[in-house]
Structure 1
Amino acid sequence: MVFPPETCDVGGVLLLAGLVVALGALVQGAVGFGLALVAAPLLAIIDPALVPVPLLLVTAVHAVLTVAREPRGADWTGVGWALLGRLPGTALGVLAVALLPTRVFLAVVAGVVLVCAALSVVTWRPRPTVPALLVAGLVSGAGGTAASIGGPPVALLYQDRSGVRVRATLGAYFTAGSALSIGALVAGGQVGVDHLTAAAVLLPAMVVGFLASGPARRFVDRGWVRPAVVGVSALGAGVLLVQVAIG
């Protein structure tokens, strides 16, 4: 049940959950990703019923808004290759969750992201080539399925591109990826009325954060795209490692 009145102050929980989603939406609107990285761990503490389905629905709407705001910036060819890699990656994520200890798999995903982020700071200058996009899509599909950390692998390939390119490309990638995930969940009977209600409750906060990201993205575009992408990627991996440590 979402926000059970008998166990919590509904108004306070609504406000707290809204603030978390608004912050995540601001980060993603400015950098291109980060809503799930910021919001998922905190929402799981506030009310476990808010993740993963309601958050996925809200994230999908954010992705659509991003594409609508900067429609000409997306690398549609790159999106296609990354999505092609995402398909087996999603299956790999499901298989890994079923066969491996969850903490081990989450630690591996976080470790891969941290290593890539560290290498990109020191020597590595990744480019969105076809092989790289396929691998990034695969890692993104696996990590996104098991740990809600699907953005960094693809984002790191575009860290030397403009902010518009990063945001629009990831927005298009998340739009298509979210549609696939939501379709699979609906087909599996895992999306109910409670999920839709929870998503509707969180939606206004997401829109506020998205609108607030307008000034923030202008700041990011002034030479801060690469540090923002690497920093948010490392932050997301760090949060995941903390979850592993305390889980």
Structure 2
Amino acid sequence: MIEAAWSCLLQWWALSELTLGTWLWVGGVLALGCFVQRTTGFGMAVVGAPLILLKAPAMVPVVLVVYGFLVSCLVVRRYRREVAMGDISMALVGKVPGTLLGVWLLLIAPMATLEVMIAAIVLFAVLVTLFKLRLPVNRSSLFGAGFLSGIFGAVAAIGGPPIVLLMHGMPMDRLRGNLAAFFLISSLMTLASLAAVGKVPLWLLAVSLSFLPMVLVGHGLGAALAPRLPRRLLQGASLTLCAAAAIGLLLS
């Protein structure tokens, strides 16, 4: 039994084509992304997608969707009293056709095109966070934000910026709770859609789960240091890193 399990692990590792250095890079990026998300409320995939894509493109978007779901579970558990499904229900409706379109793009677009798309999504996320534009929040805008979130989430696991653009005026705890609830449900939708078209092979899921210890360390450090570190400084540093990684993708 143990020998069979070990044999499967070795086969999955071979299929991943990851070196130890690349595995450590991906794990470190995920830990950093979890730290940023726990301290600022948003940003794991924005940090993770361009940096992981530089070293391990086969891991994107599945590894980020998996940990987006797990981190959202942790955040929802903390802020469950702040969640108001009425705030996000229409966005979840828009998420469905957006996810289907995003998966279709993932299937037909060459990797070079996907890299440009992901870099553009990351830069859009940076601009949204920096300028905090005010848009009317209604059923139409929520549906549109959910639709864009579905596309961005399927292509790069970066479904947050369109929703944040609408909801950033909420009190911080309510924002964190609603975003986490939205990401929890939408991550399941994205993962199911990717699995349906064969984009979530067992080896990829297994290798993704191997990063769990590092993710928990990043989340734990974020929880411990969040009250002690200035949120604006952390956000500024993470946005600079994201922008640099996105520009690096465009120039590579």
Would you say same fold, with TM above 0.5?
yes
Change (3 A) 1:197 1:81: same
Within 5 A, what are the aligned runs for 1:29-48?
29-48=38-57
Aligned twin of 2:5:
none
Determine the C-alpha separation between the residues in 1 that align with 2:68 and 2:150: 16
Aligned twin of 2:3:
none
Q: Among residues 188, 193, 201, which one is paired with 2:210 in the alignment?
A: 201
Aligned twin of 2:154:
145
Residue 243, structure 1, aligned to residue 249, structure 2? yes
Contact 1:83 1:173 in 2 (8 A): yes
Within 5 A, what are the aligned runs for 1:1-247?
10=20, 12-96=21-105, 98=108, 102=114, 105-106=117-118, 109=121, 113=125, 116-117=128-129, 119-120=131-132, 124-126=133-135, 128-218=137-227, 224=231, 236=242, 239-246=245-252
**Per-residue deviation, residues 122-176 of structure 1 (Å, max 9, x unmatched):** xx43454322222211111122222332111111222222221222111111111
**TM-score calculated relative to the size of structure 2:** 0.76
Residues matched between the structures, number: 238
Change (3 A) 1:156 1:233: farther
Letter in 1 for 2:154: T
Letter in 1 for 2:64: L
**TM-score calculated relative to the size of structure 1:** 0.77
Determine the C-alpha separation between the residues in 2 that align with 1:130 and 1:228: 33
Change (3 A) 1:135 1:233: farther
Change (3 A) 1:65 1:116: closer
Contact 1:64 1:175 in 2 (8 A): yes
Contact 2:97 2:147 in 1 (8 A): yes
Q: Which runs of 5+ in 1 are unaligned?
A: none
**Per-residue deviation, residues 192-219 of structure 1 (Å, max 9, x unmatched):** 2312221221111111111222244435
Determine the C-alpha separation between the residues in 2 that align with 1:125 and 1:9: 45
Letter in 2 for 1:30: T
Contact 1:58 1:202 in 2 (8 A): no
Contact 1:22 1:207 in 2 (8 A): yes
Identity across the alignment (%)? 29
Quote the RMSD (CA, aligned, Å): 3.4
Contact 2:39 2:222 in 1 (8 A): yes
Letter in 1 for 2:173: V
Letter in 2 for 1:243: L
Change (3 A) 1:52 1:136: same
Change (3 A) 1:2 1:241: farther
